[in-house]
Structure 1
Amino acid sequence: MLTVWGRANSLNVQAVMWTIAELGLTHQRHDIGHVHGGNKTSEYLAMNPNGLVPTVRDGDGVPMWESAAIVRYLAAAYGDDKFWPRDPAARVQLDMWAEWIKTSFVPTFSGQVFRPLVQQGSTPLPPEQLKAATEAVKPLALMLDRRLGDGPYLAGSDLSFADMIIGNPLYRYYTLDFDRAATPSLDAYYAQLTARPHYREHVMVSYESLRTRP
């Protein structure tokens, strides 16, 4: 059985939990981090010296951390050839976009739009700063829109490990009120994801408790 340490409203935990659910794996999750605390104890740091979430242990195996690495482990260990292509040449065509979402899209969207809007407290974000931030996200959304094409998933008709990483931040992207680029393919992709019960359960989780209150 898989054991997961991490809170349900963590973006990184959500990617792992969605993967676990899509693969139908038996698991137990413990709320750790943010208001729950527990991620700075000596016991937790012995498993994950970074002190962040998630941390995952597969049975009696060595603890794993870093969500994308965990997703890849689960996909390789338990996924079929559609979910985790065994051909490296086929897999890399998906994996490079999974890397891109983590290194380009998420840092820009989360750092410049999500965190300032959600964690701004009583101080409004200056309009010029919000405009610059939203303009920085638009070309990245357009890149993903072009890559998705007719979809419905990144690999075409088959859901894969890369969708776990790419689709995960889109709930926040689409539910936050800001000026988004016109991206019909990305919109259709998100609609496809929201039709999946496991996406609704593990990714479409309220982030209201993350807001900084006045």
Structure 2
Amino acid sequence: MLKVLGKASSINVRKVLWACAELQIPFEREDWGDGFRSTQTPEFLALNPNGLVPVIRDGDFVLWESNTIIRYLAMRYNGAWLYPADPLARVRVDQWMDWQATDLNRSWSYAFLGLVRESPAHQNAEEIDASLKSWTKHMRILNGQLEATRAFIAGSQFSLADVPIALSINRWLCTPFEHPHFPAVAEYFERLAARPAFALYCNNGQS
């Protein structure tokens, strides 16, 4: 059985759990990370030298990096409906997944760590303000894309790209500051509520 290593509250672990639910892949999860078994032990570092979660074990196969993991799961477990084989459709999914992992994540990192995690190293008010402005800029980009598709992030159908994007939107909504209203984003989040895995792994009280 597929094993997922990482704490259930981790945004990146939840990507993997959500993908497993969509693909109906049975899995066992093991707690690793803050408050659980350390990811800095030789045992864990042998699986992922970065010492980060999630990691999966699929038989003898070990893989890390959350977006890579969910791509693998879709390719391995009949997930063409989530991650299409057609090159033009696939790269559109990849584009938004990669944008989430780089541009969007980078924009919210400082503000989220300061306002939600209350990290002592992230309490500079000017840096928080700059992060929130950048985050808002990227959310405006998302809103524009969703206005164009009127459905999901990569087009008319739910895809693998919606998993990381929705988790980032959830993080936006859970961060305490005055949020600009983005109607297409709000409608999109409501649209996702029809999916059982959304309630389990995205809109579940975790940020």
Asked if the contact 1:40–1:51 (Cα under 8 Å) also holds between the matched residues in 2, the reply is yes
Decide whether aligned partners of structure 1 residues 90 and 177 sit closer, same or farther in structure 2, where only a CA change above 3 A counts.
same
Counterpart of 1:165, as a letter, is P
Task: Provide the residue aligned with 2:200 in structure 1.
Answer: 201
Decide whether aligned partners of structure 1 residues 121 and 107 sit closer, same or farther in structure 2, where only a CA change above 3 A counts.
closer
CA distance in 2, matches of 1:124, 1:103: 19
1:92 maps to 2:101: no
**2-11 vs 196-205, which moves further:** 196-205
Task: Provide the residue aligned with 2:49 in structure 1.
Answer: 49
Asked if the contact 2:19–2:160 (Cα under 8 Å) also holds between the matched residues in 1, the reply is yes
Q: Secondary structure at the match of 1:29?
A: strand
Task: Provide the residue aligned with 2:189 in structure 1.
Answer: 190
Deviations 1:151-177 (A, max 9, x none): 321243421111112112221111222
Task: Provide the residue aligned with 2:118 in structure 1.
Answer: 120
Task: Provide the residue aligned with 1:137 in structure 2.
Answer: 135
CA distance in 1, matches of 2:158, 2:10: 22
Task: Provide the residue aligned with 2:38 in structure 1.
Answer: 38
Deviations 1:108-144 (A, max 9, x none): 11x2211111232689946544433221211111111
Counterpart of 2:117, as a letter, is Q
Q: Secondary structure at the match of 1:28?
A: strand
Asked if the contact 2:3–2:27 (Cα under 8 Å) also holds between the matched residues in 1, the reply is yes
CA distance in 2, matches of 1:64, 1:37: 19
CA distance in 1, matches of 2:46, 2:128: 40
Counterpart of 1:7, as a letter, is K
Counterpart of 1:101, as a letter, is Q
CA distance in 1, matches of 2:185, 2:78: 25
Asked if the contact 2:23–2:79 (Cα under 8 Å) also holds between the matched residues in 1, the reply is no
CA distance in 2, matches of 1:105, 1:124: 18
**154-163 vs 88-97, which moves further:** 154-163
Report 1 or 2 for greater relative contact order, CA contacts < 8 Å, sequence distance ≥ 6: 1
CA distance in 1, matches of 2:87, 2:13: 26
1:2-41 equivalences under 5 Å are 2-41=2-41
Counterpart of 1:76, as a letter, is M
- Show structure 1 runs of 5+ residues with no match: 209-214
CA distance in 1, matches of 2:69, 2:79: 16
Tell me the CA shift for residue 45 of structure 1. 1.4
